[in-house]
Copies of this chain bind each other. A is one copy, B any other.
């Protein structure tokens, strides 16, 4: 399909442009206690999905390319800041195929360099309209709230799917929403119109996170970049475990008491219709994302539509 392939080329081009610009952000080298890990973080192998979305959205509404690049750097740094701090909180060892900052150095280094990355993201916003600062920080706070809920859920095994969706909406959805919204705001769209783009990104983020939960069990280890079942083995709740408990709590509890291999889980989720429910839920949020996109102000939305397919295929 030549159209898809030209889109993929466009994305590869954007990604390499983003990588180049990330390396060009003016960042000091000293004190190295602070800046060595910051360079390490920025040079990590992220998929750069979020800055790509800023560009696609901004491009659809003809934002200024330099502005798009600056805003896209800011969201990528915001994202990396949250990852560095979350990795300490969750005691994770690897991120993007390299040691996490607190494992390569130590916790104080990771706390401080995460703070530094976030401050750099704020500095990149300089000169942008007030609404961009405000939305950027509102969403940053949403992400903290999402992480707070996620930590609370570790100790509460009675979480409803509704609460779980609020949590992932804040922790994962809001940032993708912000990316799409920022592109629109930079292009001068009105607040309410830009918010429709936020809705698009938010729903895309929900679909993306629920799919992540699914791939955690049914995915392919090499393309996931982490071992299957790693969330379950950490007693983290996911869309699958919550739906399984909701569906038949007694059966589920006696199952997790007895079984523990990935193939046990796969067969439980499959036989009890959980996999099916989760796939339907992903579809539901993709539809919501698409319908938000349809109601967004007129423009060539072809690339945004293809982005939906692309991030759910995760083939790059």
A residues near B, CB below 8 A?
A: 28, 31-35, 85, 88-89, 107-109, 111-112, 115-116, 118-120, 122-123, 125-127, 130, 133-134, 137-138, 140-141, 144-145, 147-149, 151-152
Measured CB to CB, the closest approach of chain B to A161, in angstroms, equals: 17
Query: When the two chains form their complex, are residues A148 and B85 in contact, meaning their CB atoms are under 8 A apart?
Result: no
- Given A28-B145, A116-B141, A123-B137: 16 more A-B contacts, CB < 8 Å: A31-B145, A31-B148, A32-B148, A32-B152, A33-B148, A33-B151, A34-B147, A85-B112, A85-B115, A107-B107, A112-B147, A115-B144, A118-B118, A126-B130, A126-B134, A127-B130
Please indicate the chain B residues that have their CB under 8 angstroms from the CB of A134 in the complex. Answer: 123, 126
Please indicate the chain B residues that have their CB under 8 angstroms from the CB of A144 in the complex. Answer: 34, 112, 115-116, 119
Please indicate the chain B residues that have their CB under 8 angstroms from the CB of A126 in the complex. Answer: 130, 133-134, 137
Please indicate the chain B residues that have their CB under 8 angstroms from the CB of A31 in the complex. Answer: 145, 148-149, 152
| Cα(A152)–Cα(B33), bound, Å | 6
Please indicate the chain B residues that have their CB under 8 angstroms from the CB of A123 in the complex. Answer: 134, 137-138, 141
From the candidates B89, B119, B122, B138, name the one contacting A108 in the complex (CB within 8 A).
B89
Please indicate the chain B residues that have their CB under 8 angstroms from the CB of A33 in the complex. Answer: 148-149, 151-152
Measured CB to CB, the closest approach of chain B to A15, in angstroms, equals: 27
Measured CB to CB, the closest approach of chain B to A90, in angstroms, equals: 8
Please indicate the chain B residues that have their CB under 8 angstroms from the CB of A151 in the complex. Answer: 33, 108-109, 112
Closest chain B residue, CB of each to CB of A139: B119
From the candidates B89, B115, B133, name the one contacting A122 in the complex (CB within 8 A).
B133
Measured CB to CB, the closest approach of chain B to A127, in angstroms, equals: 6
Please indicate the chain B residues that have their CB under 8 angstroms from the CB of A140 in the complex. Answer: 119, 122
| Cα(A122)–Cα(B107), bound, Å | 25
Please indicate the chain B residues that have their CB under 8 angstroms from the CB of A125 in the complex. Answer: 133
Please indicate the chain B residues that have their CB under 8 angstroms from the CB of A122 in the complex. Answer: 122, 133, 137, 140
| Cα(A151)–Cα(B126), bound, Å | 29
Q: Can you list 9 A-B contacts (CB < 8 A)?
A: A34-B148, A85-B112, A89-B112, A109-B151, A112-B144, A115-B144, A116-B144, A119-B140, A122-B140
Please indicate the chain B residues that have their CB under 8 angstroms from the CB of A89 in the complex. Answer: 107-108, 111-112
Please indicate the chain B residues that have their CB under 8 angstroms from the CB of A149 in the complex. Answer: 31, 33
| Cα(A107)–Cα(B85), bound, Å | 11
Residue of A35, A89, A108, A116 with highest tally of chain B CB at under 10 A: A108
Closest chain B residue, CB of each to CB of A122: B137
